Amino acid sequence: MRFARITNIVALVGGVIMGPWALRSAEAATPQLNWAAVEIAFVGSMVAVVLAIAFQALLRNTGGVRSGLRNMATAGVFFAASGMSALVVAAYRGTVGPSAYFIAAIGFGVLIGAGINRVAFRGAFAT
């Protein structure tokens, strides 16, 4: 538990630091990101996490479920922090648009997907 907390803190700090570079990458996307891309990234990342962990649960791979939940949660923290940092930078520059929300949408989608899995497999695979 302590290791998971430390890795989440490192992911949070790293995400905040990486936010401006994530924003630059999202702004450089060809073709330009639009609001539909943000929605697809949010839903797609959420569904991908749910399916990845559910597949491990169907295989009765308890280690895969536990480590998958931990790793997906840490990745979600990193992307959410990076996305929020990118949003702050874009707001400061006055260029808030779909590209500013893209990384945060991925992060929050991953976190919600991990939360759905935690609730769904709470009794079978307690972490």
Quick: pLDDT tens for 77-95: 999 999 999 999 999 999 8
**Structure token pair of residue 100:** 């500013």
Confidence (pLDDT) at 39 = 96
Is the pLDDT higher at 126 or at 60? 60
Q: Is 106 helix (H, G, I), strand (E, B) or coil?
A: helix
Q: How many CA atoms lie within 13 A of 61 on its CB side?
A: 12
**Mean pLDDT, rounded, of the chain:** 91
Please determine, for residue 122, whether its predicted confidence score (pLDDT) is greater than 80: no
Q: How many CA atoms lie within 13 A of 44 on its CB side?
A: 9
Residue 124 pLDDT class (50, 70, 90 cuts): low
Domain boundaries, the chain: 2-120
Distance CA 93, CA 59 (A): 48
Determine the average pLDDT of the residues in 121-127: 64
Quick: pLDDT tens for 48-82: 999 999 999 889 888 888 888 899 999 999 999 99
Quick: pLDDT tens for 33-46: 999 999 999 999 99
Q: Which residue matches tokens 């996307």?
A: 29
